[in-house]
Amino acid sequence: MNPSIHLQAAYIEARTRLSKVTDAITETDLTKKLGSAPNSIGFLLQHIAEVELLFCKNVFGHAEVKVVAHTVIDQKDMGVWTDLAAIQSLLVESGNTISAVLAAVPEADWQSQITTKEFGTKTKAEAFGRIISHTAYHAGQVAMIQKYGI
């Protein structure tokens, strides 16, 4: 059996960490930060979506995925991620895209290697672990900022 189905299910389950947080986000939450931390909730949510789309494009070679990763390019929060509907829409798009891409990965591709400047050389299966942990890591940050930030 192709592991893609199992990995797709793992991704969907792992991403519930994010969806539970975003279900409770309000527009005023988007500008919240935690103490002197540099990133707002809006920036982090935008970043998650952009990186998931980049992952589909660069790791799995889906050139049709269109993304301009402003958060990666800017490398800091510029205070512009304040449109909740737009951010939520991009998160839905990135989640749907990555889920579809995962379902289509042939079994043999999981052990092929990919090299990126962000995480070096890894198999696609290892790189997949990276995107799951990336999304969950930032979802945790968002939850903490939402609860304690101002």
Residue 30, domain extent:
4-148
Could you tell me the CA-to-CA distances from 123 to 59, 112, 114 in Å, in that order? 10, 5, 6
Percent of the chain with pLDDT over 70: 99
Number of domains within the chain: 1
E-strand spans in the chain?
113-116, 120-123
Task: Give pLDDT tens digits for 27-71.
Answer: 999 999 999 999 999 999 999 999 999 999 999 999 999 999 999
Confidence of residue 116 (pLDDT cuts 50, 70, 90): confident
pTM: 0.93
Whether 17 has a pLDDT exceeding 90, the answer reads: no
Read off the CATH number of the domain in which 69 is found. 1.20.120.450
pLDDT digit string (tens) for 76-93?
Answer: 999 999 999 999 999 999
**Is pLDDT of 2 > 80?**
no
* pLDDT at position 134 over 90: yes
Q: What is the pLDDT of residue 148?
A: 95
What mean pLDDT comes out for the span 120-143? 94
The pLDDT of residue 1 is 63
Nearest to 53 by CA among 97, 4, 113: 97
Contacts of 75 (CB under 8 A, 6+ apart): none
